Every structure is written in structure tokens, then in C-alpha cells.
Structure 1
């Protein structure tokens, strides 16, 4: 079947946004998010068909006419899971018996209602971004939202809809909502980023990448001189002009380089510098200092970006030949990209 874009129901996001509101702040706008998933029509569990989306919109349009729906959903949610009430700073300490008459609680309930309504009305929109699930997972991990939280909210929402609509909430409509909420939770759980996968805003590296690279490097670092030498030989054979950047052995035949004193000094220097940079990756200040030093010293020599990219590519080839896993190689790719961008930035 033809592949198409399907909008997933993400009205619960308004809840997660509300949980992240800092004490003492006032919410003046409502932000809602929709996302898309490419899938074959009806071929996977949790994917919404056009009919299911129609059922969700129809039943929602009926339920939202009752102004008590939003407060009931939020009230039942925090009653069933009182630990979540603490995440709403405006009514964190309000007794549950007073919530339904508390202005801040009601305002938050209708904020969630408004967000959910906008998303449901957008279920058939074609102008949706396919990468939103990844962004959503990363954003809400930092706010403390978890997949189970979305599951629990969905259960309460379904219960309130069933009571509100009575016989109008048919078995078919209930299943449509179950599928929509299941797709939502599955998408978030799959793309939710853990703390170790969040990149540092300055170094652009994640703890996961640093751990993978340092661990795999430790297994081969004792042979780093031979590793760098093999890369240089391949690099100079591929692009002879790169060898000319090294004046002390620029005119030595490539096959005669191993054993050449000046060449071996350069190999040891590069190998040790690489070792230092990798070892210091979990020390942000030292890492940034090393990258800036490399950028300064090599800019003076007029070395362009190309040789750095070629060196990185050949290093990945060597690592692969030494049995470094595909997952670790992905981390190496990310780290080497950061190194190259720092040492020789792309010119606009």
C-alpha cells in the first residue's frame, strides 16, 4: 500500500508542558504539537486509519461541548496519581477536595482542553514535520515526562469520554481512541531521549558518544602510532598534495615514509594529540581548549577542511577493520564530525 503521513494525537503534550512550568511564572500562551509518522495504511498496530481519525474527531466534537470534561479529566488524573499534582506549581499544595473550584486548576484544565482540541482538528493536515517525534522525545525528557505518564493520562481520558458520551462512545470509537493513544505512547517511548543522549550545548557531544569512543579507543590506543601511520600512507597515496603540507618529509616517497625519522615524529605527535583529545572529552573545558589549539595552529599552516574529513573517513575504516562495533562507529562518526567542525569550520 502507498506510504502516507499520519498525524498522531499529541494533545497530551499540553499536560507535559504544564508540568514544566516554573514556580511563580504565568502561562499566557498555549503551545500544541503534532507529529507525523510514515507508514503503510493499516499495516501496523497503533497506526490510525482515516476512519479512525474521523471517529476521534467526531466523538471529541461531541464531548467538548460539556465544559466539565476538561476539569474531570485533569481531576481524575491527579486523584489517581497524586504524585503528579506536585508537578503543577500553581496548585501543587491545594487539597484535592478543593481542586474543582480552584481557579489555577481550572485554568490548567482548559489549557489542556484547548491544546487537545487544536491537535484533533489538525488530524488530517498534510503540513506536518516528520521529525517531530525525535524533537518531542528530547524536549520532554528534560521536563521529566515519561511514557507511563502519557499512558496513564490516556486511560483517564478514555474513561471520561466513555461516561460523557454513553452509547455514543461505541466499541469502534473506543478502539479508535485506544489506537491513537497507543500510537502516541509508542512514538514517544521510541524517540524519548535519555540524559546520556542529550548533547552538551557547547561541545555538541553526548555522554553516550563520549563513553563509546573512549571505551573502544582504550582497546587500541597502545597501537595508535601504527594506526596513524597507516592512515597517513593511505591519505598521501589518495591525495599526494596533502603530503606537501609536511615540509620535512613532503618529498619522500610514500612507501619510504615508515622509518623516516621526521615522519615518525609527526606520526607520534598526531597519535598523541588524538589520544589527548579523546581522553579529555569528558572534561569540557579541556576538550574545547584542545580543539581551539588545533584550529589555531593548523589555520596558520593553511591546511583546508578536506584533509581533516579524509583523515576522519580513513580512521573510521581502520576502526571498522579492527572490529569496533557499528554502534560505537556511529559514536565515532559524531565525535569526529565535532572535531572537524571545531578545527576547520565550514566556510559560509
Structure 2
């Protein structure tokens, strides 16, 4: 993975980091709207109607966790095993989140960040896709270590 991809993402990532609750909420609402089957993977949110998603404090809080963790991973510039391994363990063993869902949310993240952040141009979007592809692949390796079968 090229350090240039991380640098390209981080160059436009400031607004995301400054408002991770807002971006995180937007990501989860978009995820649940565009991929309603994914909502079932979140026990706290699985019974919410589409109208109850936006403005939900729990979704905003969880979205903040997602985007804050992603920011921390990106700042590691590929040296993210120490952060990623416990995340993989909890998502594989406790939450039972299929790997494909990380690919799905990755694309949602790219779309939402591009829509909300005009500085996040096509090059930054492409770099984020490459970064997220590596993160998801590495997450999958940790899933394998835990014997997670889908």
C-alpha cells in the first residue's frame, strides 16, 4: 500500500475528523437505507423504521465510534494491526459481522464523505477506496485467525 494513498486521504479528512458524529450518523443512515439487510446486524437498531434513523442518538453515537476508529486506522498509514486485530475479534466472534459488510460500508463511507466534503475530490475518493480495500483485506486475515466462517 502506497503511503501516498494515506496522505491523499488525510489531506482532505479534516472535516470528517472534526465531525465524526455527523459523518458517522450519515454513513449508518445511508447504510441502512441503501442496504436494509445490514440493519439487522445491529441489534440496537434492527427494529427502527426508516423514519426513526436520522436524528437517533444511538446511531449518531455508534457512527462516531465507526468514523473515529476509521480515522485512527487511516492515521496509522498501513501499520494498523494493533488497532485492527481487536476490532476483527469483536466483529467476528461477538457480533458475527460477515466480511462482505465491510466492503459495503466502505463504499458507503466513500460516497457520504464525498457528498459532505467538497474537498474530497475524485483522487481522494480513489485513494480512500484503496486504503479501505487494504483495511478490509487485513481484517479478513484476522477473521481467518479467529476461525470465522461465513
TM-score, scaled to structure 1: 0.37
Partner of 2:12: 59
Work out which of the residue numbers 147, 160, 167 in structure 1 matches 2:99.
Answer: 147
Higher RCO structure (Cα 8 Å, ≥6 apart): 2
Q: Distance in 2 between matches of 1:56 and 1:122?
A: 12
Work out which of the residue numbers 128, 131, 134 in structure 2 matches 1:177.
Answer: 128
Cα distance per residue 1:220-244 (max 9 Å; x no partner):
xxxxxxxxxxxxxxxxxxxxxxxxx
Which consecutive aligned stretches of 4+ in structure 1 deviate over 6 angstroms post-superposition? none
Work out which of the residue numbers 74, 80, 102 in structure 1 matches 2:34.
Answer: 80
The answer to whether the Cα contact below 8 Å between 1:56 and 1:177 also exists between their aligned partners in 2 is yes
Q: Can you give the 5+ residue segments of structure 1 that lack an aligned partner in the other structure?
A: 1-46, 199-348
The answer to whether the Cα contact below 8 Å between 1:99 and 1:105 also exists between their aligned partners in 2 is yes
The answer to whether the Cα contact below 8 Å between 2:22 and 2:60 also exists between their aligned partners in 1 is no
Matches within 5 A, 1:295-310: none
Q: Answer 1 or 2: which has greater helix percent.
A: 2
- Comparing 96-105 with 150-159, greater Cα deviation is found at 96-105
Cα gap change, 1:139 to 1:108, in 2 (>3 Å): closer
The answer to whether the Cα contact below 8 Å between 1:70 and 1:110 also exists between their aligned partners in 2 is yes
Matches within 5 A, 1:90-101: 90-101=44-55
Matches within 5 A, 1:13-28: none
The answer to whether the Cα contact below 8 Å between 1:138 and 1:193 also exists between their aligned partners in 2 is no
Q: Can you give the 5+ residue segments of structure 2 that lack an aligned partner in the other structure?
A: none
Q: Distance in 1 between matches of 2:42 and 2:142?
A: 25
Larger radius of gyration: 1
Partner of 1:343: none
Cα gap change, 1:139 to 1:94, in 2 (>3 Å): closer
Partner of 1:159: 111
SS of alignment partner, residue 97 of structure 2:
coil
Q: Distance in 2 between matches of 1:90 and 1:174?
A: 30
Q: CA deviation at 1:116?
A: 2.4
The answer to whether the Cα contact below 8 Å between 1:141 and 1:193 also exists between their aligned partners in 2 is no
TM-score, scaled to structure 2: 0.78
Please tell me the root mean square deviation across aligned C-alpha atoms, in Å.
2.8
Q: CA deviation at 1:138?
A: 5.1
